[in-house]
Amino acid sequence: MAREEIANFARKALANAPERLGIYLRGPGEKPLKRRMIFARIEALAKDFISGKTGNRWTVMPGLRGTGKTTLLSQLYFLLKAEGVPQDRIIYVSADELVKAFGSNIYEFIEAYEDISGLAVEELQEKAFFLVDEAHYDKNWAAALKTVFDRSKHVFIIATGSNALALQANPDVARRVHMEKIFPLTFAEYVFLKRGILPPEGAGEKLYDAMFFSGSAKRAFSAVSAIERAAAPYFVKWKRYDIEDYLSKGTLPFSLELKSREEVFQRLIQMLEKVVYDDIAAIFPYNKETLDKVWNLLLLLSSAEDMSLEAVSSRLGLGKPTVHSVLTTLEKSEILFPIKAFGRAAKQARKTPKYAFIAPVIKATLLWESGSSIDRAVYGRLFEDIVAFYLYKFSKKGFKLSRDSEKRGADFIITRQKDNAKTVVEVGYGQKGPRQVRQTMKKVSAKYGIVIYDGKTKLEGNILFVPKRVFLLC
């Protein structure tokens, strides 16, 4: 692209940013969109930079498409304007548009900004913010942003991307950046964004500590009961059907703007096709036939409870190495995450992990695409995926998540890293007994077990029963 052409594009990008980004601030009926809870952390980083405090100047936000990354950047853009940052020092660009529509790249855009501002990056005396959306569309995004980062301490960078594989696999990024992964919505976030209701402050962290770090079922029961009593006014403010809506269509923010579940599913089908045929194809040289089978694999995983690598290979007509590669790709693309079998590394290598969808709305959509109705049995499977998603997030905070691979075993095994203590977890959408928990507890020598179900908080020996509405406080 000619230097003057990219300069004209950069001028328009700076001038039109308020109008362009403003549309992401409002939902149906022009109602202002509430901010996701993660925004508070992004805001704190930006304000620390403005005030001159030392801290992170380069943040990367990978996340599945539909998790609201562009909305977060838009909200940050207008926050910065409100803080008095001049418009020509808040530089927003979508690498998607830059690369696909103009055949350019981030490095050329930065050069163009220097031309129109009359200053090289290292000559900046005022604080400047570079907000780069969908950075992964430029294969050299990390090198381009590294030059900006290294040339001036007056620059703050945020880069988002819906292809987490491309964002996280770069060593230049790993050494320098603050990684802030954008997850799907928790139930507490969903209720807040939909109804403006917040749970008691700190309830999620307290519940997490109570369930998994109390040391005994008795102490866990006491702590969970206290949290439930404190949250009683919160529970009566949202509707009972909110849980079903959340499970079937509410785990991604864009669903809040749509009226029907079918609209959500249709939008998500389009999004998943972009992940498979654009994001994955951009990183791996899979041919069209293999990409079609990636799609078939997603449909298969949505309906199958548990399948071996051999069975998947046979069903799809792909070699086991290719199936393994595709599963790894889907994992790094933020669609799936694996739950490995409990045991030593040799056993884990022999057993195919169970794969859960990072957002249960993906499973609901694929089932709908396959012609299945969303009935009570499906809600049970979606709820198990939600519990898996919560535990997957928690596992970053001090424990290892695995599963009992034997028949009639419990759903999850939590192993604390600090003392190797184990807690067994079983999930039921309706009523649920302790049999499976007891069987797995005996096998792994767990101190206590947890049953998450549709009932009351209670204690049976060394098994804690937690109502699903209480667990969803996390």
Q: In Å, what is the CA distance from 308 to each residue of 31, 299, 341, 353, 435?
A: 48, 16, 12, 8, 25
Identity of residue 92 = Y
Same domain? For 160 and 265 the reply is no
Same domain? For 239 and 165 the reply is no
pLDDT for the residue 1: 58
* CA–CA dist 65, 79 (Å, integer): 23
Q: What is the number of H-type helices and E-type strands within the chain? A: 23, 13
Residue of higher predicted confidence among 176 and 438: 438
Query: Confidence class of residue 136 from pLDDT cuts 50, 70 and 90?
Result: confident
The predicted-structure confidence for 392-403, as pLDDT tens digits, reads as follows: 988 877 889 999
What is the rounded average pLDDT for all residues in the chain? 90
Same domain? For 82 and 20 the reply is yes
Same domain? For 285 and 404 the reply is yes
**Are residues 63 and 168 in contact, defined by beta-carbon separation less than 8 angstroms?**
no
Same domain? For 174 and 214 the reply is no
Same domain? For 387 and 426 the reply is yes
Same domain? For 223 and 297 the reply is yes
pLDDT of residue 50 exceeding 90: yes
pLDDT for the residue 387: 97
**Are residues 299 and 326 in contact, defined by beta-carbon separation less than 8 angstroms?**
no
Same domain? For 147 and 253 the reply is no
Q: Residue 104 is part of a domain; what is its CATH number?
A: 3.40.50.300
Number of domains in the chain: 2
- Mean pLDDT value of segment 83-98: 94
Same domain? For 309 and 165 the reply is no
Share of the chain above pLDDT 90, in %: 64
Strands 155-161 and 128-133: parallel
The predicted-structure confidence for 25-47, as pLDDT tens digits, reads as follows: 987 777 888 999 999 999 999 99
Q: What residues form DSSP beta bridges with 341?
A: 403
- Mean pLDDT value of segment 324-335: 85
**Are residues 301 and 353 in contact, defined by beta-carbon separation less than 8 angstroms?**
no
Same domain? For 376 and 278 the reply is yes
Strands 354-357 and 336-339: antiparallel
Same domain? For 145 and 202 the reply is no
pLDDT for the residue 172: 64
pLDDT for the residue 195: 92
Q: Tell me which residue of 88, 70, 234 sits closest to 159, measured CA to CA.
A: 70
- Mean pLDDT value of segment 211-232: 96
- What is the per-residue DSSP string for 147-198? HHHHH-TTEEEEEEES-HHHHHS-HHHHHHPEE--BPPPPHHHHHHHHH---
3-state secondary structure (DSSP) of residue 250: coil
* CA–CA dist 81, 91 (Å, integer): 12
The predicted-structure confidence for 180-200, as pLDDT tens digits, reads as follows: 989 999 999 999 999 999 999
Burial class (CB in 10 A: 0-12, 13-18, 19+), 345: exposed
> Of 182, 205, 223, at which residue does a domain stop?
182
pLDDT of residue 350 exceeding 80: no
**Are residues 175 and 58 in contact, defined by beta-carbon separation less than 8 angstroms?**
no
pLDDT of residue 351 exceeding 90: no
Query: Confidence class of residue 343 from pLDDT cuts 50, 70 and 90?
Result: confident
Question: For 138, phi and psi rounded to 5 degrees?
Answer: -95, 115
pLDDT for the residue 414: 94
Point out the least confidently predicted range of 51-55, 245-249, 425-429.
Answer: 51-55
Note down the domain range covering 176. Answer: 3-182
pLDDT of residue 348 exceeding 80: no
Point out the least confidently predicted range of 220-224, 230-234, 238-242, 262-266.
Answer: 238-242
Strands 422-427 and 412-416: antiparallel
CA atoms within 13 A on the CB side of 474: 22
pLDDT for the residue 440: 96
pLDDT for the residue 346: 55
* CA–CA dist 302, 281 (Å, integer): 22
Contacts of 19 (CB under 8 A, 6+ apart): none
How many C-beta atoms surround the C-beta of residue 315 within 10 A?
15
Residue of higher predicted confidence among 54 and 469: 469
**Are residues 393 and 183 in contact, defined by beta-carbon separation less than 8 angstroms?**
yes
For the chain, report the end-to-end CA distance as a whole number of angstroms.
49
Query: Confidence class of residue 105 from pLDDT cuts 50, 70 and 90?
Result: very high
Q: Residue 366 is encoded by which pair of tokens? A: 């694929």
> Of 120, 150, 182, at which residue does a domain stop?
182
Query: Confidence class of residue 404 from pLDDT cuts 50, 70 and 90?
Result: very high
- Mean pLDDT value of segment 371-389: 92
- Mean pLDDT value of segment 10-35: 90
Same domain? For 160 and 194 the reply is no
pLDDT for the residue 187: 97
Point out the least confidently predicted range of 265-269, 283-287, 312-316, 386-390.
Answer: 283-287
Q: Which alpha helices (DSSP H) does 317-459 contain, by range?
A: 320-332, 345-350, 360-369, 376-394, 435-444
**Are residues 159 and 165 in contact, defined by beta-carbon separation less than 8 angstroms?**
no
- What is the per-residue DSSP string for 50-71? HHT-----EEEEEB-TTS-HHH
pLDDT for the residue 137: 87
Share of the chain above pLDDT 70, in %: 96
pLDDT of residue 416 exceeding 70: yes
Query: Confidence class of residue 203 from pLDDT cuts 50, 70 and 90?
Result: very high
Q: What residues form DSSP beta bridges with 32?
A: 26
Q: Residue 271 is encoded by which pair of tokens? A: 């999004």
> Of 182, 202, 228, at which residue does a domain stop?
182
* CA–CA dist 290, 323 (Å, integer): 10
pLDDT for the residue 167: 67
* CA–CA dist 185, 439 (Å, integer): 33
* CA–CA dist 66, 148 (Å, integer): 28
Query: Confidence class of residue 454 from pLDDT cuts 50, 70 and 90?
Result: very high
pLDDT of residue 159 exceeding 70: yes
3-state secondary structure (DSSP) of residue 290: helix
Q: Tell me which residue of 470, 465, 468 sits closest to 424, measured CA to CA.
A: 465
Q: Residue 120 is encoded by which pair of tokens? A: 């090289």
